[in-house]
């Protein structure tokens, strides 16, 4: 925050929603200034997609059989890699501490961070996924389910991933710890996300599974920011 | 008792290996769980006592610690 | 009533009362375990289908039940320390984590050993076992998070938050895995159908479950005492304890 409202005594501090949107815009601008960091998860996705045929053999029907799971697992891992950095930059230069002191509710500010993260990773991953799905011989009819499941699911992944990020942001030797914390939270999303795609491959409706992902998203939006806010306070005070 | 002899107990109609392996591992972990805190506590108190005795008697003392 | 809670927040009082509880609880626990184990091993009839390998149930099920219950004990202790800021509650939470992890480990290992003669494989990705595995990861996460923080007060708070997140997650995980298993494997293997267990087999099982609960409590109290001493090392009552000879 280069200039807070307090520097201009005439202005009122922005309302919660305006603050949240401003924060979101800031995060997006910061992210866009480093296009490499946006490209990294996508590049990771691409390279790991290549790893699976290298490991399993290029037989098209085998790849197609595993494609829903493979695509979802890689999306999950990409998300995991980027989760660590969500709060770290602002923690290190003190902006996070400023955020905690601001009068706006932390719940919404945290949502801004998460939304920015999702827009820069999950959304892009979901849009790019059909390309890699085709490389893994996923049947065309399942592409829609894939994109939708990734859109919903990656939002949940961002939300729960940031819980781990908030709890470990202050730690010097965080490293693999965030993975240990977040992966159990990722598992239900993986189960239903890949099930949605698998259902579409088999010809049955993916709707119910997408609905369950939607329900998880609602639960995560309601509860995760509370845990994240608590985690941030603990990390700052530590 | 549903077994006629000790060898029947150990053999358990062919499942003896599994049953006894499971029970042995479990007993090992349980014993560790029960014994470790006490030993940790005793070691800690002994170390603390040693530090206090050394602090009390000063750096030039020749006293051995307990 | 509130004086009781106030006293609970006092380390020397907690140390003293846990000592007096352990003096009778520990022998009772060991006795219950011994009786239950011998009863289950030697004095119950072999199962109709599984033969003698079913005897593993007398350690597998109690370990699994208490492992799951232990997570909730840990999470509730964490919640109490976070919400009411009771200092001793985070000692309880920290002490519970490794015990729960050990019990989950027992449940997994005995489950795998039981699976080999029963279903032919060491590991089956069914709903129960997979959920147990995830529970182990949740426990290990709490232990790892506590160790990673240098400031132990923050460590307690962070673990409390993590345990609570895990508590919300456990039913979700269990339901997801349960559903996932039924999707990928028609339910031909259902050892959960043991609800029609014969009474002669049920009683030793209940005894063992009770014994394991008692065991958890004993280990929890012992771990708490050890942790209390470490935290209060600079106080007079601990120093007196150390100098008076390391008597429990």
What ipTM did this prediction achieve?
Answer: 0.86
Cβ atoms C108, C133 nearer than 8 A: yes
Choice among A170-174, C136-140, C220-224 with the minimum mean pLDDT: A170-174
Choice among A44-53, C95-104, C214-223 with the minimum mean pLDDT: A44-53
* Contact partners, residue C9, CB within 8 Å, separation at least 6: C86, C87, C88
Is the CB of residue C21 less than 8 Å away from at least one CB of chain A?
A: no
Instruction: Give me the percent of chain A exceeding a pLDDT of 70.
Output: 95
* Shortest Cα distance, chain A CAs vs residue C114, angstroms: 25
Question: Residue A8's pLDDT is what?
Answer: 57
pLDDT at C65 over 50: yes
* Contact partners, residue A11, CB within 8 Å, separation at least 6: A5
Contact partners for chain C, using 3 or more CB pairs closer than 8 A, are A, B
* Shortest Cα distance, chain C CAs vs residue B61, angstroms: 18
Q: Which residues pair with A200 in a beta bridge?
A: none
> B and A: touch, per 3+ CB pairs < 8 A?
no
Contact partners for chain A, using 3 or more CB pairs closer than 8 A, are C
Query: Assign residue C197 a region: left if phi > 0, alpha if psi is -120 to 50, beta otherwise?
Result: beta
Higher pLDDT, C222 or C11: C222
Question: Residue A30's pLDDT is what?
Answer: 87
Cβ atoms A163, A84 nearer than 8 A: no
Task: Mark yes or no for CB contact C164/A227 under 8 Å.
Answer: yes
Instruction: Give me the percent of chain C exceeding a pLDDT of 90.
Output: 46
pLDDT at C245 over 70: no
Among the partner residues B18, B32, B45, nearest to C117 by beta-carbon distance: B18
* Contact partners, residue C200, CB within 8 Å, separation at least 6: C44, C45
d(Cα A6, Cα A14) in Å, to the nearest integer? 10
* Contact partners, residue A121, CB within 8 Å, separation at least 6: A38, A41, A78, A79, A82, A154, A158
Q: What residue of C is the nearest CA neighbor of A160?
A: C165
Q: Which of A14, A151, A171 is nearest to A87 (CA)?
A: A171
Task: Mark yes or no for CB contact A187/C177 under 8 Å.
Answer: yes
Is the CB of residue C168 less than 8 Å away from at least one CB of chain A?
A: yes
C148 contact residues in A (CB cutoff 8 A): 168, 171, 173-174, 177
Q: Which of C240, C102, A221 is nearest to B48 (CA)?
A: C240
Question: Residue C188's pLDDT is what?
Answer: 43
Per-residue burial over C172-184, b = 16 or more CB atoms within 10 Å of its CB, e = otherwise: bbbebbebbbeee
Choice among A6-20, A91-105, A153-167, C16-30 with the minimum mean pLDDT: A6-20
pLDDT at C246 over 50: no
Q: Mean per-residue pLDDT for C54-63? A: 89
Tens digit of each residue's pLDDT (9 = 90 or more) over C141-197: 999 999 999 888 899 999 999 999 999 998 998 888 888 887 765 544 444 444 456
Cβ atoms A116, A21 nearer than 8 A: no
- Domain ranges within chain C, ordered by starting residue: 12-42+55-241
Among the partner residues A191, A230, A235, nearest to C177 by beta-carbon distance: A191
Q: Which of C36, C56, C48, C39 is nearest to C198 (CA)?
A: C48
Task: Mark yes or no for CB contact A227/C161 under 8 Å.
Answer: yes
Measured at the CA of C101, the angle between CA C97 and CA C107, to 5 degrees, comes to: 145
Tokens at C80, concatenated: 């109490």
Measured at the CA of A137, the angle between CA A133 and CA A142, to 5 degrees, comes to: 60
Question: Residue C76's pLDDT is what?
Answer: 95
pLDDT at A173 over 90: no
How many residues in chain C?
248
Q: Which of A42, A167, A148 is nearest to A110 (CA)?
A: A167
Question: Residue C140's pLDDT is what?
Answer: 94
Beta-carbon-side half-sphere exposure of residue A223 (alpha carbons within 13 Å): 16
Query: Assign residue A156 a region: left if phi > 0, alpha if psi is -120 to 50, beta otherwise?
Result: alpha
Contact partners for chain B, using 3 or more CB pairs closer than 8 A, are C
Is the CB of residue C149 less than 8 Å away from at least one CB of chain A?
A: yes
Question: Residue C161's pLDDT is what?
Answer: 95
pLDDT at B11 over 80: no
Among the partner residues A173, A185, A234, nearest to C154 by beta-carbon distance: A234
DSSP label at A176? Answer: T
Segment (H or E) for A15: none
- Domain ranges within chain B, ordered by starting residue: 6-57
> C and A: touch, per 3+ CB pairs < 8 A?
yes
Distance of CA A93 to the CA centre of its chain: 23
Is the CB of residue C25 less than 8 Å away from at least one CB of chain B?
A: no
Choice among A137-141, B62-66, C150-154, C207-211 with the minimum mean pLDDT: B62-66
d(Cα B49, Cα C6) in Å, to the nearest integer? 29
Among A131-145, C42-56, C117-131, the range of highest mean pLDDT = A131-145
Q: What residue of C is the nearest CA neighbor of B54?
A: C243
Please give the full DSSP string across A149-172, using - where no structure is assigned: HHHHHHHHHHHHHHHHHHHHTT-T
What values do phi and psi take at A15, rounded to 5? -65, 165
Mean pLDDT in chain C? Answer: 86
Segment (H or E) for C216: helix C199-231
Mutate to test the interface with C, among A164, A181, A231 (most CBs of C within 10 A): A181
Mean pLDDT in chain A? Answer: 88
């Amino acid at each position: 925050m280069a200039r807070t409202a307090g520097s201009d005594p005439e202005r009122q501090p922005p309302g919660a929603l305006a603050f949240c949107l401003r924060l979101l815009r800031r995060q997006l601008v910061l992210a866009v200034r480093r296009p490499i960091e946006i490209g990294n998860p996508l590049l990771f996705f691409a390279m790991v997609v290549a790893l699976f045929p290298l490991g399993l053999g290029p037989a098209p029907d085998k790849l197609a059989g595993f494609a829903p799971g493979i695509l979802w697992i890689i999306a999950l891992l990409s998300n995991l890699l980027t989760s660590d950095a969500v709060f770290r930059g602002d923690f290190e230069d003190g902006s996070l501490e400023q955020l905690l002191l601001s009068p706006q509710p932390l719940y919404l500010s945290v949502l801004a961070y998460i939304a920015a993260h999702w827009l820069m990773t999950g959304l892009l991953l979901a849009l790019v996924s059909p390309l890699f799905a085709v490389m893994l011989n996923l049947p065309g009819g399942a592409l829609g389910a894939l994109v939708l499941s990734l859109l919903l699911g990656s939002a949940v992944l961002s939300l729960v991933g940031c819980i781990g990020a908030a709890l470990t942001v202050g730690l010097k030797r965080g490293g693999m710890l965030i993975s240990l914390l977040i992966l159990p939270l990722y598992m239900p999303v993986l189960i239903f996300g890949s099930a949605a795609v698998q259902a579409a491959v088999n010809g049955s409706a993916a709707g119910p599974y997408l609905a369950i992902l939607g329900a998880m998203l609602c639960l995560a939006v309601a509860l995760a920011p509370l845990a994240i806010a608590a985690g941030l306070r603990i990390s700052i005070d530590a | 008792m549903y077994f006629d002899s000790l060898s029947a107990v150990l053999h358990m109609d062919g499942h003896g290996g599994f049953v006894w392996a499971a029970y042995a591992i479990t007993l090992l972990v349980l014993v560790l769980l029960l014994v470790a805190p006490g030993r940790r506590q005793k070691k800690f108190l002994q170390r603390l006592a040693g530090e206090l005795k050394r602090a009390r008697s000063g750096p030039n003392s020749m006293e051995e610690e307990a | 009533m509130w004086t009781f809670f106030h006293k609970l927040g006092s380390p020397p009082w907690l140390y003293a009362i846990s000592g007096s509880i352990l003096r009778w609880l520990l022998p009772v626990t060991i006795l219950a375990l011994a009786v239950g184990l011998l009863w289950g091993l030697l004095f119950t009839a072999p199962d109709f289908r599984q033969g003698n390998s079913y005897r593993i149930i007398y350690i597998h099920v109690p370990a699994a039940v208490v492992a799951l219950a232990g997570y909730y004990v840990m999470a509730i202790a964490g919640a109490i320390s976070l919400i009411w800021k009771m200092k001793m509650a985070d000692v309880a939470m920290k002490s519970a984590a490794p015990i729960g992890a050990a019990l989950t480990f027992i449940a997994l290992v005995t489950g795998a050993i039981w699976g080999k003669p029963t279903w032919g494989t060491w590991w089956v990705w069914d709903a129960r076992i997979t959920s147990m595995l995830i529970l182990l990861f949740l426990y290990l996460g709490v232990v790892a998070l506590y160790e990673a923080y240098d400031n132990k007060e923050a460590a307690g708070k962070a673990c409390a938050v993590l345990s609570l997140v895990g508590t919300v997650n456990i039913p979700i995980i269990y339901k997801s895995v349960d559903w996932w298993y039924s999707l990928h494997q028609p339910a031909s293997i259902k050892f959960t159908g043991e609800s029609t267990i014969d009474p002669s087999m049920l009683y030793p099982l209940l005894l063992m479950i009770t014994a394991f609960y008692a065991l958890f409590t004993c280990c929890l109290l012992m771990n708490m005492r050890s942790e209390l001493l470490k935290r209060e090392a600079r106080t007079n009552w601990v120093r007196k304890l150390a100098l008076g000879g390391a008597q429990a």
